[in-house]
Copies of this chain bind each other. A is one copy, B any other.
Amino acid sequence: MSNNSFASRFQELKNIFQEITHLRGIRRLLDWDQETFMPQKGGQNRAEQTALLASLIHEKMTSSRTGELIEELFEQVEPKGPEKDEFVCLREWKRLFDRQKKLPASLVQELSRQAVLAHRAWAQARKEADLSIFLPFLQRLVELSRKKADCLGFDSSPYDALLDEYEPGATTVEIEELFLELVPALKTLLSRVQGAFSSRQNGLSGKFPIGAQKVLAKLAVDRMGYDLRAGRIDTVLHPFSTKIGPGDCRITTRWNEQDFTEAFFGVLHEAGHAIYSQNLPQEHYGTPLGESVSLGIHESQSRFWENIIGRSRPFWKYFLPISRGIFPGELTDMDLDDFLRIINRVKASFIRVEADEVTYNLHVYLRFVVERELIEGKLSPKDIPERWNGLFKDLFSLDVPNDALGCLQDVHWSGASFGYFPTYTLGNIYAAMFLKAIRRDVDQMESLIERGEFSLLSDWLKKNIHCHGQRYRAKELVEKVTGERPSALPLIEYLKGKYTGLEAGE
């Protein structure tokens, strides 16, 4: 009877979260449509539709019945370990519910209201390279985010409380330790390889018809295991990948006719995310067992395909001849070594999203330092440029000419997404750890890739990462799969090995 009653109450709770998940999927379709096909004048109506969905989701998430069921069932579920499906669900639902319960509705509303205003001000400020336009909004968002951290509670740093939203269980100290391992190695590597390989420091400049680029991109993602019958590729200004639901995980990109590699690597990146989404267990859709672990793990999937596989020699041994066929005449004089050096060129530059594999994590580190200090109250928003530019000079030996190329370049802070940036570096770190583990598990990985056979990679990722949903937290999952605790060493080794290879032409 008591067991029966547990089952039926669990089912009731599961139904609530399945509805919430469907409403979120619907909302993502609305967002996707807004970025792809929505008519220009549809914006106001779309905002109201989206707000309605948000309030329906909020209502279901915060209902007293939801809370009651979570409390009771979490108490009763046994064993309390990741091997028990119901426990995993209740652990994650409780985490979401508890976080939410701690935040006063007024604070949540104020943050969301200020973020809308701040976003507009930020766009203007970036356009005019004038921080003063954005500063009052940023001050308010920092203040509200500090309040949010106080409400959520934390052990050592308020930044922990914010980080936890994007990377459950991660701490500021752990992130700091990873950076302390990584950053000096990257600085050394940068001074060694910057501008070392190629006179063509600006990428390709040919004529690559977009239709042909689409053919190549679809071929590549199909080989990677992205199911195009359960997805599609559309054109947008700011590329993203989105899960509408099982059987419907879409990606987007932006095409550059002069250099096909821009969209190509973008598509690989988004397809990495979308393959993860497609491979999450469908039978668990609507529960944490059908959800991705964290932003860091999600990013590890995109970076794995975009960089570790997509910018590797074996990958282009297979794809360069195909690309020559698809773009007749454009790549005739390009040999594999030249091509690899172009797509792996390293250069200190001001903009994060244009950065290479060596400098990318230095950009992230800088943001981590700055936003942590903001949230810990050690840095005032008005002093950001000084701090940013000083750190930049130290990391890249360059002077930031203006704030548009400095602290105003990223959208994140205008949405109060403090704690998001480190997940990019976690993604790169995890991806390199997974590469090491795959090399251990899969014989002759390189020679399979050279032949265009990627299914052993996709299968490994599906079997070791995707199939678990949120059964394990990121750190646990990484340790379970690789046998090692999160560490930047595999990333450092991978990068050193890669650039030694490029220097030697092997």
Instruction: Report A284-323 CB contacts with B as 1/0, cut-off 8 Å.
Output: 0100000000000000000000000000000000000000
Contact B22 A248 (CB under 8 A): no
Q: Enumerate A12-67 residues with CB–CB distance to B below 8 Å.
A: 19, 22-23, 25-26, 29-30, 33, 37-46, 48-49, 52-53, 56
A230 at the interface (CB under 8 A from B): yes
A229 at the interface (CB under 8 A from B): yes
Contact A45 B244 (CB under 8 A): yes
Residues in B with CB closer than 8 Å to A272 are none
Contact B232 A46 (CB under 8 A): no
Residues in B with CB closer than 8 Å to A19 are 52
Partner of A248, one of B23, B38, B56, B234: B38
Residues in B with CB closer than 8 Å to A22 are 48-49, 52
Using CB atoms, name the residue of chain B closest to A43.
B247
Contact B46 A245 (CB under 8 A): yes
Partner of A39, one of B26, B30, B229: B229
Contact B49 A245 (CB under 8 A): yes
Partner of A52, one of B23, B52, B227, B246: B23
Using CB atoms, name the residue of chain B closest to A19.
B52
A217 to chain B, nearest CB (A): 16
A166 to chain B, nearest CB (A): 26
Q: Enumerate A267-286 residues with CB–CB distance to B below 8 Å.
A: 285
Residues in B with CB closer than 8 Å to A247 are 39, 41-45
A193 at the interface (CB under 8 A from B): no
Q: Enumerate A213-238 residues with CB–CB distance to B below 8 Å.
A: 227-232, 234
Residues in B with CB closer than 8 Å to A231 are 39
CA distance A230 to B37 in the complex (A): 11
A468 at the interface (CB under 8 A from B): no
Contact A49 B33 (CB under 8 A): no
Q: Please tell me how many copies of the chain the complex holds.
A: 2
Contact B53 A25 (CB under 8 A): no
Using CB atoms, name the residue of chain B closest to A286.
B48
A146 at the interface (CB under 8 A from B): no
CA distance A49 to B19 in the complex (A): 9
A17 to chain B, nearest CB (A): 13
CA distance A29 to B42 in the complex (A): 12
Residues in B with CB closer than 8 Å to A43 are 247
A345 to chain B, nearest CB (A): 36
Contact A53 B26 (CB under 8 A): yes
CA distance A229 to B30 in the complex (A): 18
Contact A40 B230 (CB under 8 A): yes
Contact A230 B41 (CB under 8 A): yes
Residues in B with CB closer than 8 Å to A56 are 56
A372 at the interface (CB under 8 A from B): no
> Provided the pairs A52-B22, A53-B26, A56-B56 are in contact, do residues A45 and B229 lie with their beta carbons within 8 angstroms?
no
A250 at the interface (CB under 8 A from B): yes
CA distance A244 to B23 in the complex (A): 17
Residues in B with CB closer than 8 Å to A46 are 245, 248
A15 to chain B, nearest CB (A): 11
Contact A39 B245 (CB under 8 A): no
A177 to chain B, nearest CB (A): 41
CA distance A257 to B397 in the complex (A): 61
Closest 7 CB pairs of A and B: A45-B245, A42-B248, A41-B247, A41-B230, A40-B229, A42-B247, A22-B52
CB<8 Å pairs between A and B, sample of 15: A22-B49, A22-B52, A26-B30, A37-B234, A38-B248, A39-B232, A39-B248, A40-B229, A40-B230, A41-B229, A41-B247, A44-B246, A44-B247, A45-B245, A45-B247
Given contacts A44-B247, A45-B245, A49-B245, 20 further A-B contacts (CB under 8 A): A22-B48, A22-B52, A23-B52, A25-B49, A26-B52, A29-B29, A29-B49, A38-B248, A39-B230, A39-B231, A39-B232, A40-B230, A42-B244, A42-B247, A44-B246, A45-B247, A45-B248, A45-B285, A46-B245, A56-B56
